[in-house]
């Protein structure tokens, strides 16, 4: 109502300044909103004429624009609210998707493992000793593969390395979600005095999951 009253005052002041008009049209729309104007209302609106004096009363001084604006709403008197940005999400960990050289299993790790020794038998080489492989008197066995690996071949071991590539975004998110679920289970099962480390871990993982 304050806003409508301010509009009426503005129109009245315009009428007074013009001197040729002495009526203001109050228009009510179908949704109930009310407006004021110096010409006839649009079709479908309820119209009401308001008579105003053709000249301002003696001694009338129009209010300053700042005062009129402040009378429309008291919201401007409220202190400005400072919007505090939320803390940035923690970055996702850098992971690698690897395949085991010995067992062929897939796993995720934070850093690719270094080369390691594996039994020749597990890697598909014959499990016999060197004498059994090559036969007596230094003869070569028929169809036997040539052992590799230098001195390690004498111990029945060879050096292998898992195959690793940088993990995809989906794989990293799945890994972090799994760690979050595991930590959440531990948190719910822990005694009150044991919960702080799990709570801190939960906040860290939850922040990382914002990137997923």
pTM over 0.85: no
What sections of 19-104 are H helices per DSSP?
65-72
Residue 184 CA to residue 200 CA, distance in Å, equals: 11
Helix, strand, or coil (residue 57): coil
For residues 178-211, one letter each, b for 16 or more C-beta atoms within 10 angstroms of the residue's C-beta and e for the rest, the string is ebbeebeeebeeeeeeeeeebeebbeebeebbee
Task: Give the model's confidence band at 77: pLDDT under 50 very low, under 70 low, under 90 confident, else very high.
Answer: low
More confident residue, 60 or 24: 24
CB 52 within 8 A of CB 17: no
pLDDT at 24: 81
Task: Give the model's confidence band at 35: pLDDT under 50 very low, under 70 low, under 90 confident, else very high.
Answer: confident
Average pLDDT taken over every residue of the chain: 75
Residue 58 CA to residue 176 CA, distance in Å, equals: 78
CB 125 within 8 A of CB 133: no
CB 100 within 8 A of CB 162: yes
Residue 187 CA to residue 195 CA, distance in Å, equals: 6
Least confident of 109-123, 130-144, 185-199: 130-144
Q: Note the pLDDT tens digit of each residue in 142-166.
A: 334 434 445 555 567 888 999 999 9
As a 3-state breakdown, the chain gives helix, strand, coil percent values, each rounded to 5, of: 40, 15, 45
Q: Is 15 exposed, middle or buried (0-12, 13-18, 19+ CB in 10 A)?
A: buried
Residue 1 CA to residue 81 CA, distance in Å, equals: 26
Only one residue has tokens 């799990």, namely 198
Residue 160 CA to residue 104 CA, distance in Å, equals: 12
Task: Give the model's confidence band at 91: pLDDT under 50 very low, under 70 low, under 90 confident, else very high.
Answer: very high
**Mean pLDDT, residues 162-183 taken together:** 96
Number of H helices, E strands in the chain: 5, 8
Residue 128 CA to residue 108 CA, distance in Å, equals: 35
């Amino acid at each position: 109502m304050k806003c409508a009253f301010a509009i009426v005052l503005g129109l009245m002041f315009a009428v007074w300044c013009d001197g040729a008009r002495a009526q203001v049209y109050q228009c009510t729309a179908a949704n109930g909103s009310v407006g004021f104007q110096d010409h006839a209302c649009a079709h479908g609106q309820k119209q009401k004429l308001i008579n105003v004096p053709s000249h301002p009363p003696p001694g009338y001084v129009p209010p300053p624009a700042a005062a009129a604006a402040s009378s429309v709403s008291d919201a401007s008197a409220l202190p400005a609210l400072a919007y505090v940005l939320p803390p940035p999400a923690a970055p996702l960990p850098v992971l690698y998707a690897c395949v085991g050289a010995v067992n062929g299993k897939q796993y995720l790790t934070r850093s690719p493992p270094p080369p390691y020794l594996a039994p020749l038998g597990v890697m598909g080489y014959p499990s016999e000793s060197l004498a059994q492989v090559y036969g007596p008197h230094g003869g070569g066995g028929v169809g036997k593969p040539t052992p590799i690996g230098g001195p390690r071949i004498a111990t029945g071991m060879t050096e292998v390395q898992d195959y690793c590539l940088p993990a995809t975004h989906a794989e990293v998110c799945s890994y972090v979600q799994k760690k979050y679920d595991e930590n959440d289970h531990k948190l719910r099962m822990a005694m009150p005095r044991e919960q702080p480390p799990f709570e801190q871990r939960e906040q860290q993982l939850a922040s990382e999951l914002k990137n997923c």
